[in-house]
Amino acid sequence: MEDKIRLEISGLSYSQAQTGAYALVLSETDGKRSLPIIIGSFEAQAIAIELESMKPSRPLTHDVFKTFADEFKIDIKEVIIYNLQEGVFFARLICMDKNGLVSEVDARTSDAIALSVRFKCPVYTHESILKDAGVIIDEDSEIRPAHSNVEQDIADAMSDAETKTSSSDPIQSKTAAQLDEILHDALSKEDYEFASKIRDEIERRK
């Protein structure tokens, strides 16, 4: 069996290449390669909310799954991104019940990552996948394919992953107190995408 390579979340940004999509970057823990994955806005919000310790007014689908699993003593031990076909990544949840029985459950990679941050479990992939789809992000943010077969649309999306807030953005004109108020209002309305932008601005000022 092919050795597993551990990955960590190193970036999550709006994709300028695909409307309504986000670029999730998973980087190998002991190496320089990264695996960029295009995901939907709902899954991106689900990941960002947990990473930034936001508390939605009502639980999201992934939160309900976590509560359900906790209630029945089911744990996700790890996530493995095991296949790549025509630009689509495939993942499995490696689960264990209260009796120690291990099961594997197929899942979309975006959902698997959203669950991994809630269960605080490691994420792995295989060398063959990093070889085919990995990129190397230099310190100057230049992105180079780790292999000539890397999907061009993913590389293009990642080239915009560090897009910064425009100076004309009205958010920047708000005081810290106003931002806190806006953040609270956005969370109460379950506008998590906007709340994430507000949280980014608050963190940027610290």
5 by DSSP, 3-state: which? strand
Superfamily of domain 4-159: Bifunctional nuclease domain (3.10.690.10)
Tokens of 21: 């999509």
Number of residues written out for the chain:
206
pLDDT tens-digit readout, 156-204: 444 443 333 333 456 777 888 788 888 877 777 767 777 777 877 787 7
pTM for this model (two decimals): 0.69
Answer yes or no: are the C-beta atoms of 37 and 26 closer than 8 Å: yes
**Tell me: the pLDDT tens digits for 21-68?**
888 999 999 888 999 999 988 899 899 999 988 888 889 999 999 999
Q: What is d(CA 74, CA 122) in angstroms, rounded to the nearest whole number?
A: 16
